[in-house]
């Protein structure tokens, strides 16, 4: 299945004109304004879903205001929670396989849920994101809405006992 995952990632990247940079255990990051994404070498379904997620950001044009493109910041302008939910929706829609429980836990507890946790922690205070050279843009987290909740529910499916507890909009 790993070969099918890799071919699928390469096919989507080619379709959108996105350069792939892959290395073992590389955390996913999109550099839409520069025309590429970074993803781990595909060794399992989590790596595959990470690639689909970053390709979704690319396909959606989620630019992040990195110099010299400070005016291109769609990711922040539409909201970090919304942008992340959109990219996970794309990954869910594109996935060619039944999503494993371990992958679902990764998507929520490590990824989307961690942004939600930051939303709870920041409570309307101006923030920046330090990873992926995104610290140039100050923003205030958008509130989770029905769309965000719908993607969270698709990810969580019927699993219980999440590390990142969802409390709704605060």
Instruction: Give the tens place of pLDDT for each residue, 131-170.
Output: 888 888 999 999 999 999 999 999 999 888 888 788 777 5
From 43-52, 105-114, 122-131, 147-156, the region with the lowest mean pLDDT: 122-131
Q: Rounded to an integer, what distance in angstroms lies between the CA atom of residue 86 and that of residue 92?
A: 10
Q: Is residue 27 situated within a structural domain?
A: yes
Percent of the chain predicted with pLDDT > 90 = 83
Is 165 within a domain?
Answer: no
Give residues with Cβ within 8 angstroms of 118, minimum separation 6: 127, 141
Task: Using the predicted structure, report yes or no on whether residue 24 has a pLDDT greater than 90.
Answer: yes
Mean pLDDT of 53-72: 95
- Please compute the mean of the pLDDT values over residues 71-84 and round it to a whole number: 96
Domain assignment present for residue 163? The answer is no
Cβ-contact 89, 148 below 8 angstroms: no
Q: Is residue 79, in this structure, part of any structural domain at all?
A: yes
Residue 28 located in a structural domain:
yes
**HEC sequence for 25-52:** CCCCEEEHHHCEEEEECCCCHHHHHHHH
Determine contact, residues 40/23, Cβ cutoff 8 Å: yes
Task: Examine residue 101 and state whether it is found in any structural domain, yes or no.
Answer: yes
Q: Is the pLDDT score of 97 beyond 80?
A: yes
Q: Tell me, what's the pLDDT at 170?
A: 57
Q: How many domains is the chain partitioned into structurally? A: 1
Q: Which domain holds residue 108?
A: 2-156
Q: Give the model confidence (pLDDT) of 80-95 as tens digits.
A: 999 999 999 999 999 9
The answer to the question of residue 9 being in a domain is: yes
Task: Provide the pLDDT for residue 136.
Answer: 86
Mean pLDDT for the chain overall: 94
Domain membership of residue 20 (yes or no) is yes
């Amino acid at each position: 299945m790993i070969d099918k995952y890799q071919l699928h990632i390469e096919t989507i990247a080619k379709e959108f004109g996105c350069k792939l940079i892959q290395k073992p255990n590389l955390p996913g990051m999109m550099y839409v304004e520069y025309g590429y994404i970074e993803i781990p070498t595909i060794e399992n379904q989590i790596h595959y879903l990470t690639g689909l997620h970053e390709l979704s950001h690319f396909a959606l044009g989620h630019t992040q205001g990195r110099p010299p493109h400070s005016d291109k910041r769609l990711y922040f302008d539409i909201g970090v929670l919304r942008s992340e939910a959109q990219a996970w929706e794309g990954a869910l829609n594109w996935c060619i396989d039944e999503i494993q429980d371990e992958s679902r836990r990764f998507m929520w507890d490590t990824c989307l849920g961690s942004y939600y946790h930051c939303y709870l922690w920041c409570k309307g205070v101006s923030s920046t994101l330090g990873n992926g050279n995104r610290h140039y843009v100050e923003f205030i987290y958008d509130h989770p809405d029905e769309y965000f909740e719908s993607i969270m529910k698709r990810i969580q499916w019927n699993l219980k006992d999440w590390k990142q507890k969802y409390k709704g909009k605060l």
